[in-house]
Amino acid sequence: MLQAIDLSLRAGPKTLLAGVTLELRPGEVLAVAGPNGAGKSSLLRALSGELAPSAGQVLMNGRPLADWPPKQAARLRGVLPQSSGLAFRFSVRDVVLMGRSPQRKTHSAAQNRAIAEQALALTDTGHLAERIYTTLSGGERQRVQLARVLAQIWEPQHPLQRYLLLDEPTSALDLAHQHAVLAIARRFADRQQAGVLAVLHDLNLAALYADRIALLHQGHLAAVGTPAQTLNSASIRQVFDYPVSIASHPQHPQALLVIPQRQAAPGMPAQ
């Protein structure tokens, strides 16, 4: 498992996370949701090792994250940030091949290229392989970066488990590719028994694809559990300060549908 244990994170006088305990299990998709500033991206950055906790610890496969050699950790844990700046005129294929850097000394160039091609195919970006990365749209870049991260942790590392951390992976995507990206994450968890954590704003996407949902509020873990346990009108009103109704999804009866209630704009009379 990838575990946050009593995790706190501060930036100067500001508390970003306060005593968060959460685990990402092999083979599950865990969605992290909450309002802006709740600490979602801070939690992901702490779980990835980018930010050092002010208190508490992060364990990966039972071992403190900081104790893992960087190359070995890179084979076990892939991170897709909200945005990935790249100004050089690399081809899309070369960008995805960058994900194979931790395996450069253990795999041949042909093996790494074959895995990059598989990652391109999985993310529906194979037709972009010869394009210059900087000429792509924002959504295309996001999908290419997902291919890069998948290529990085493509192979099983038995008996160790792998983890995929996605920070708002659907933010730059159209409707079809939002579902495509989360379907890929779902399939990776199911078939590879990898743990997938995705920071999401859309609760309905979380309800469709996640096994569990963690709700953050002002740096605290407000709720965690299955969609049925966490997606109720009282919890959502508490966390998001907005009224909603909950219904069964018309096409997926096992999933819930979060329906925001329409409210008048401040200072305007209700219709």
Supply the pLDDT for residue 108. 93
Supply the pLDDT for residue 251. 81
Residue spans of the chain under pLDDT 50 = none
Measure the CA–CA gap between 73 and 163, rounded to whole angstroms: 10
> Which option is the CATH number for 2-260: 3.40.50.300, 3.20.20.140, 3.30.420.140, 3.40.50.80?
3.40.50.300
Are 221 and 214 contacting, i.e. CB atoms less than 8 angstroms apart?
yes
What is the number of H-type helices and E-type strands within the chain? 9, 12
Burial class of residue 218, CB neighbours in 10 A (0-12, 13-18, 19+): middle
* CA 92 distance to own-chain centroid: 22
What b/e string do you get for 153-167 counting C-beta neighbours within 10 Å, with b at 16 or more? bbeeeeeebbbbbbb
Supply the pLDDT for residue 256. 86
pTM of the complete model: 0.91
Alpha-carbon distances, residue 159 vs 76, 112, 149, 181, 234 (angstroms)? 11, 22, 21, 27, 41
Q: Which of 121, 56, 108, 46 is nearest to 77 (CA)?
A: 46
Backbone φ, ψ for residue 69 (5° rounding) = -60, 140
Supply the pLDDT for residue 86. 74
Tokens linked to 30: 């865990």
